[in-house]
Chains A and B, each alone.
Chain A
Amino acid sequence: MPNVYLWIVLAPLIAAIIAGLFGKFIGRSGAHWVTIIGVGISCLLSMVVFKHHVLDGGEIYNATVYTWLETERIKFEVGFLIDNLTAMMMVVVTFVSWMVHIYTVGYMRDDPGYQRFFSYISLFTFSMLMLVMSNNFMQLFFGWEAVGLVSYLLIGFWFKKDTATFANLKAFLINRVGDFGFILGIAAVLMYFGSLDYDTVFKSVDKVAGQEITVIDGMPWSVMTFICICLFIGAMGKSAQVPLHVWLPDSMEGPTPISALIHAATMVTAGIFMVARMSPLYELSETALSFVMIIGATTALFMGFLGLVQNDIKRVVAYSTLSQLGYMTVALGASAYAAGIFHLMTHAFFKALLFLGAGSVIIAMHHEQDMRKMGGLRKYMPITWITSLIGSLALIGTPFFAGFYSKDSIILAVQQSQTWGHQYAYYAVLLGVFFTALYSFRMYFMVFHGKERMDEHTREHLHETPWVVTVPLIALAIPSIFIGAMFVESMVFGNFFGDAIYVAPAHDVLGQLPKYDWLSMVAHAVPLSMPFILALSGVVVAWFLWMKRPDIPAKIETKFKWLHTLLIEKYYADHLYIKIIAPLSRWIGDKLWQWGDVKIIDGAIVNGSAKSVGFIASKIRNIQTGYLYTYAFAMIVGLVVLIAVFVYGWDKIISTLG
């Protein structure tokens, strides 16, 4: 097996290097073949690994690949930890990535940066795999930053667009704010556990559990809380949780395939994965769990509202992603790690599907993304229509669809939770269900039904996208329907993750629930459970508001102007960064420079003395010849004289003084 793991990560890396460095030689089709084959190998082998670990119950693999560095017997290593959690993540990452690779052939067909794009997305796959397969914090941070790098490169893929390069800088910097917390968390782990190896750390949690750290005098904090919150700040950056969420909607400046792969299915879920992986630590800090839960609940509800006022098709899906990431985070806070990861998995499929469906619409509309110029597309692109409908139904939690099982598990778990803040979280996720249905079907109706609002030219050229686009849509639609029903019993209520996830008995909310299977869970929910009623009414309201009486939303908009503005301005969160923090930093830099360096240090101290030297120099300049050896000779003579005087005269000076 070890060689298989190695090839899973190396295949996309090698493909990325070939496509990136030798793109000119292998040409456009060479680039897509080599990367599709690379990621394909990775995907198929990941399925083999999944079978080995999950289905055949293979033993957990934990071993070092190479020693990155060793300093005074502290080893920093690169290695793999493969258990059921990792195996599942590997399959999700490589499968979605593979579909996105194929889809890209159609989406980026006319782009001049074709090879570069394939190289980046393969490199992304490699980085993401290194992140999920890591067996230590150092490599986790490597993968963490590497996916951030590729995200930066891909958001700014069309680097001529100022909006794109603004968005990628913003994404990188906001992520760095998260990473700042993350690295402090890692430093704390090393300090208290003496190791960065997962296994060693998890085995010695008991020793550290009671310790305290004093950062501010008189305010001792539990070490676990400190570590967990620092690490979670990293997750807030990567998984776009409030208030570090502002980069994700702007990341839509990147090409749609990467919005699906990176900014919906995989990279943004890294934070969720990380917290689940660290469950033995989080379980020991009530404070951290509450913090996680409240941040998640806020993200889940308030980001959902924003989806309602967006007209850019991709931005609606982006806000929906934010909101769904909030759901996963709430699950983590409620100690329902398994439910969070389960939602991560189902979401990866249906959200990638929704993005790729949106991308398919965008191709057909000649890169028009404004939903107000769409409508009635179902006639022209039936496959995109049906698959998008499947995605939307899965997203809102329609019984039997994938999203239903995962989202309902989260809501049930939060209902059981006793973690501080659970009431708020419960109502947030419950209310979120209604708004999810509302904005999802607003988008669905505006795009696929109703009046055809596009111009004549566009309408004439409307047709279904080519097979490279529709095949991935179908391939993702299938798991979007079935994957929930298939895995709900084992993942949420069974022992799918084994020892990979640890839940303290007092927090075991999932254990307190009845053991549902795929059928009994539906029977429990239909027709009278709150989430089901809310989702259904969301759809109905959406139909009424945007199909039946489109004048009503317009009236609400004018009547509640302040609310609409608040939502359009995204609660003014961007203003905090763009209008306050960024100018303030520049102001500080400018003042430190102009006052500190130029006026005080240089102006008062240095130039005062330099002027006198300059004066002397201007006199001496007359005897300067300009030849190198003259300078050199003069310096060396001067030096020897100086040394001689000091050495020879030293004893005398001392004796005179003494």
Chain B
Amino acid sequence: MFESWPLLSLVIWTPIVGGMLVLATGGDKNATEARVLALVFSIITFALSIPLYTEFNSASGSMQFIEHHEWMSLGSLRFYYHLGVDGIAMPLILLTTFMTVIIVIAGWEVIKFKAAQYMAAFLIMSGLMVGVFSALDGALFYVFWEAMLIPMFLVIGVWGGPRRVYATIKFFLYTFLGSVFMLVAFIYMANKTGSFEILELHSLPLTKTEQMFIFIAFLLAFSVKVPMWPVHTWLPDAHVEAPTGGSVVLAAIMLKLGAYGFLRFSLPITPDASQELAWLMITLSLIAVVYIGFVALVQQDMKKLIAYSSISHMGFVTLGFFIVWSIYSPVTHDVKMIVTGINGAVVQMISHGFISAAMFLVVGVMYDRIHSRQIADYGGVANTMPTFAAFAVLFAMANAGLPGTSGFVGEFLVILAAFKANPWFAFLAASTLIIGAAYTLWMVKRVFFGQVANEKVQGLTDINAREFFFLSVLAVMVLFFGLYPAPLLEVMDESVTNLVRHILQSKIPQ
């Protein structure tokens, strides 16, 4: 029934149009209308994205749900409105539309100031992020890529904490500077092919030098987003200042855009440069896992702790991507463990989306009541909020990578693959088993366990039905993908295998 539907366009533009309509409801007098409207649109968008999964052909690793229209041409260059998804992008799109529903519900009565604008910003952002995941034209990708930052700046700048201006500028500086280089790279390549078509760029022959420059340009754009060490310091600041919804989008979706960029652009367009610089990427990934893990251990601010934890977890993603050549043997051509590593990295992206979102929502629930993010201001929360504490412990365990939760799956697969690449990679990566558990559970101990620490904690009320709803939905997702990740792997396996076969071919013109 959906064959003739422009599903991707619908998933992109429905929330954007919806966001405009929500804005039109006007000031805070009509806040309830704005919320209901936002919820309706977010649910419609999510519903529209479901056929992307149900109608998806897992046996094929190529692009599906393609929409291809001429957009404009400038001089000799052609721009296309070209959309399509493979098994890597599709789950990320579902994650985006799903999270938008959660964010609207989570911000429901919490956001009283400019509620309509808040809701609208997230709806528009959702559409733009789906655009990033489905764009198959570099220019279109770039437009979505930059445009989605605008609502994010606003979310932090308008609804943020006291140091929001600093955080916004830092965020802007980092992300914008990185992106400009990406644009230059695109234009350079477009001049060779005559268009920005990503699939054509994939097969564009490039010399080693060209590849190196392009790879570094992409690296600047994507490493900031992931974020990789040492361009990560904007993230803790942005998280601390952002309202809960902002942190959720940031952690659950935006970080994945950087990782997605590596998969869609860096690896397939510049495979030889990727191979050449893989050592650097692996080193930075392992530094992220270990160094950032230690930094997370000493954080006093819960949001900062989770932000650092995110960086550490994203280290697994980039590690999974760049161990390809350490595993590859030209003798056997065996790609099993390479695919396993990248599969693990993609699973980690999805899983981290749920878990980090849940962790930030957990902090948000407490922040809404006491207005503090400091660990020292809490203690014994489990006494006054037992149901909430149960959720918090579950998500903390998922964050610590406990088997049976989604947090385990990606890390496990990446560690297995990393061991094949080099036992030391696995050794360093697996140290997160200890460090990750230490910083997460130590926080849990100080915040939730013990006697009631102060009067504010004594006065806490347990979660209401709305909070129970979104936490339990996330809990179900975390457990489902932990106990039965097969459906997720099934949709991506073929696409990842295709990708791996592609990146193992040299693109240097003979």
Residues of A whose CB lies within 8 Å of any CB of B are: 66-74, 138, 141-142, 145-146, 149, 152-153, 156, 159-160, 162, 165-166, 169, 172-173, 176-177, 179-180, 183-184, 186-188, 190-191, 213, 215, 585-586, 588-590, 592-593, 596-597, 601-602, 606, 609-610, 613-614, 617, 628, 631-632, 635-636, 639, 642-644, 646-648, 650-651, 654
Contact with A along B395-426 (1 / 0, CB 8 A): 00100001110001100110110111001101
Contacts of A614 in B (CB 8 A): 166, 169
Q: Is the CB of A184 within 8 A of B427?
A: yes
Q: Is the CB of A643 within 8 A of B183?
A: yes
Ordered by A's residue number, 30 sampled pairs between the chains whose C-beta atoms are within 8 Å are: A66-B484, A70-B493, A71-B339, A71-B413, A72-B340, A73-B336, A145-B408, A160-B451, A172-B441, A176-B437, A180-B431, A585-B294, A585-B297, A592-B294, A593-B298, A596-B230, A601-B230, A606-B174, A610-B170, A614-B166, A617-B169, A628-B117, A628-B121, A631-B153, A635-B147, A636-B147, A642-B183, A643-B142, A644-B74, A647-B77
Q: Which residue of A152, A165, A613 is within 8 Å of B169 (Cβ)?
A: A613
Kindly state whether residue B110 has any CB partner on chain A within 8 Å. no
Query: Within the complex, what minimum Cβ distance (angstroms) separates A625 from chain B?
Result: 13
Q: Is the CB of B150 within 8 A of A632?
A: yes
Top 7 A-B pairs, shortest CB-CB distance:
A187-B419, A589-B294, A72-B339, A589-B298, A165-B449, A589-B297, A142-B403
Contact A165 B445, CB 8 Å, known A613-B173, A614-B169? yes
Counting chain B CB atoms within 10 Å of each CB, the highest count among A141, A153, A191 belongs to: A191
Q: Is the CB of B170 within 8 A of A606?
A: yes
Q: Is the CB of B150 within 8 A of A592?
A: no
Q: Measured between alpha carbons, how far is A590 from B299 in the docked complex, in Å?
A: 8
Q: Is the CB of B423 within 8 A of A213?
A: yes
Q: Is the CB of A597 within 8 A of B294?
A: no
Q: Measured between alpha carbons, how far is A596 from B404 in the docked complex, in Å?
A: 35
Contacts of B448 in A (CB 8 A): 159
Residues of B whose CB lies within 8 Å of any CB of A are: 23, 74-77, 117, 120-121, 139, 142-143, 146-147, 150, 153-154, 165-166, 169-170, 172-174, 183-184, 187, 190-191, 230, 233-234, 291, 294-299, 335-337, 339-340, 343-344, 380, 382-383, 393, 397, 402-404, 408-409, 412-413, 415-416, 418-420, 423-424, 426-427, 430-431, 433-435, 437-438, 441-442, 445, 448-451, 483-486, 488-490, 493, 496-497
Query: Within the complex, what minimum Cβ distance (angstroms) separates A580 from chain B?
Result: 15
Contacts of A597 in B (CB 8 A): 233, 295
Contacts of A609 in B (CB 8 A): 173
Q: Measured between alpha carbons, how far is A141 from B482 in the docked complex, in Å?
A: 13
Q: Is the CB of B433 within 8 A of A180?
A: yes
Query: Within the complex, what minimum Cβ distance (angstroms) separates A388 from chain B?
Result: 33
Query: Within the complex, what minimum Cβ distance (angstroms) separates A612 from chain B?
Result: 10
Contact A70 B450, CB 8 Å, known A188-B419, A601-B230, A606-B170? no
Q: Is the CB of B409 within 8 A of A69?
A: yes
Q: Which residue of B187, B294, B343 is within 8 Å of A646 (Cβ)?
A: B187
Q: Measured between alpha carbons, how far is A646 from B196 in the docked complex, in Å?
A: 14
Q: Is the CB of A647 within 8 A of B75?
A: yes
* CB closest chain-A residue, reference B339: A72
* CB closest chain-B residue, reference A180: B433
Contact A190 B416, CB 8 Å, known A72-B340, A72-B497, A145-B402? yes
Q: Measured between alpha carbons, how far is A162 from B450 in the docked complex, in Å?
A: 6
Query: Within the complex, what minimum Cβ distance (angstroms) separates B229 from chain A?
Result: 9
Contact A67 B486, CB 8 Å, known A159-B382, A169-B445, A184-B419? yes
Q: Is the CB of A173 within 8 A of B438?
A: yes
Query: Within the complex, what minimum Cβ distance (angstroms) separates B239 from chain A?
Result: 14
Q: Is the CB of A184 within 8 A of B430?
A: yes
Q: Measured between alpha carbons, how far is A646 from B74 in the docked complex, in Å?
A: 11
Q: Which residue of B76, B412, B424 is within 8 Å of A183 (Cβ)?
A: B412
Q: Measured between alpha carbons, how far is A146 from B393 in the docked complex, in Å?
A: 14
Query: Within the complex, what minimum Cβ distance (angstroms) separates B135 from chain A?
Result: 14
Q: Is the CB of A631 within 8 A of B154?
A: yes
Contacts of A646 in B (CB 8 A): 183-184, 187
Q: Is the CB of B340 within 8 A of A71?
A: yes
Contacts of A186 in B (CB 8 A): 416
Q: Is the CB of A191 within 8 A of B493?
A: no
Contacts of A613 in B (CB 8 A): 169, 172-173
Q: Measured between alpha carbons, how far is A104 from B130 in the docked complex, in Å?
A: 53
* CB closest chain-B residue, reference A590: B298
Contact A639 B493, CB 8 Å, known A72-B335, A156-B449? no
Q: Measured between alpha carbons, how far is A215 from B294 in the docked complex, in Å?
A: 25
Query: Within the complex, what minimum Cβ distance (angstroms) separates B386 from chain A?
Result: 9
Contacts of B75 in A (CB 8 A): 647-648, 651
Query: Within the complex, what minimum Cβ distance (angstroms) separates B114 from chain A?
Result: 9
Counting chain B CB atoms within 10 Å of each CB, the highest count among A145, A162, A213, A588 belongs to: A145
Please give 8 more A-B residue pairs, beta carbons under 8 A apart, in addition to A187-B418, A606-B233, A643-B183. A66-B486, A71-B340, A173-B434, A184-B427, A585-B438, A590-B298, A610-B166, A636-B147
